[in-house]
Structure 1
């Protein structure tokens, strides 16, 4: 007698999750509400003025060529374009780039935006006077390699401007970041001491400016560590 076959099919294994696709999807979904955060949209005049003041103190005299990695919706790119700099912004999320392009176009300012991996920007052999990154390093799987890639895109005498901090991991509205984020080397941010240790071998000199004590930059008081690291290479 023939055996009766099992009518229950074997489960089909789910395809592995592509980390880059997951990260792109996360930030695409965040784009619509991204500018609601005071330090993202810079919609409050005092917040906008505070960041404009800082950028003026950290960057060389305009016009300089600036690469804004992880540019998001382009708020800092627009500030720099308004100051007379030549700006290239890079972001992995197409919807972020669309908003950055629209923001600069609405303001009548010229800036170039590229969709690509900010960890290794798709800028070919182009070189810049400044590479700017804000709140990006904690999302990267190999921040050390990214720092080296950014330094390689600087002209002699160029500078890294890294605005970072040590905070909770959660993203927009308290939603968790992508699956597996707990394995990121700098999940939840990076302290100024740790970032300085990573950058020091790449730089001729660097300094750190604490930013936690200026509530206007963040739309209110903050209790975590926030700072800027400026490195001359």
Structure 2
């Protein structure tokens, strides 16, 4: 995300949201059943370790903690400094190691070719140029690396609504992106790709959901 006025507004929004972010069941993973549901998915998405994982738009670090607890080396990047502070504290409290950086998820401040897996959950819809971000993310991976993109087309999409920040309605994928559309954008950049439906796994979300949620898992 650039340092444009909309970009700063979005960063400020998520910074302000950091204190209550983990109140959502799938963000805080406070319930044992929800935490285990995500841990099971993360184990299935990651290769046998240890591997280097970049969590872009890491938020408060809940998925990064699961990655680190699985024995992998994790780096998290988030535009909101308060999210990063909470992620650092969360992993420290859990007794697992992780590196966290304040930076643009669309252009993470890390070296190219440094990671085996790039993990991204519910972030790509917030980016002003998601296609450019995808190309940048692929360059961060080593040969044979993997993209894991957990995304959705939210139930509010298409309904008249006030955007969460001014200008957000102009984002290319405002309200989320469908699995087939995201897969079409990723497919030219990778060798293999699969779509893993997630809407039916209520444990992931703290209860049943009615919208489209999925993971695109793609190997270079």
Query: So what's the TM-score if we normalise by structure 1?
Result: 0.89
CA distance in 1, matches of 2:99, 2:156: 30
The count of residues paired between Structure 1 and Structure 2 equals 214
Would you say 1:151 and 2:138 are equivalent positions? yes
The answer to whether the Cα contact below 8 Å between 1:47 and 1:217 also exists between their aligned partners in 2 is yes
CA distance in 2, matches of 1:160, 1:125: 14
Tell me the SS of whatever aligns to 1:161.
strand
Equivalent residue number for residue 7 of structure 1: none
Q: Deviations over 1:163-195 (max 9, x none)?
A: 00000469xxx9841111111110000000000
Tell me the SS of whatever aligns to 1:114.
strand
Would you say 1:96 and 2:83 are equivalent positions? yes
CA distance in 2, matches of 1:146, 1:204: 18
Unaligned runs of 5+ in 1: 1-16
- Return the offset for 1:19: 1.5
CA distance in 2, matches of 1:147, 1:214: 26
Unaligned runs of 5+ in 2: none
Q: Which runs of 4+ in 1 moved over 6 A?
A: none
The answer to whether the Cα contact below 8 Å between 2:150 and 2:215 also exists between their aligned partners in 1 is yes
The answer to whether the Cα contact below 8 Å between 1:169 and 1:189 also exists between their aligned partners in 2 is no
Which structure is larger by alpha-carbon Rg, 1 or 2?
A: 1
Matched ranges for 1:74-113 at <5 A: 74-113=61-100
Specify whether residues 194 and 221 from structure 1 end up closer, same or farther in structure 2 by C-alpha distance, changes over 3 A only: same
Root-mean-square deviation (Å): 1.4
Q: Deviations over 1:187-214 (max 9, x none)?
A: 0000000001000000101000100001
CA distance in 2, matches of 1:213, 1:36: 22
Equivalent residue number for residue 196 of structure 1: 183
Tell me the SS of whatever aligns to 1:47.
helix
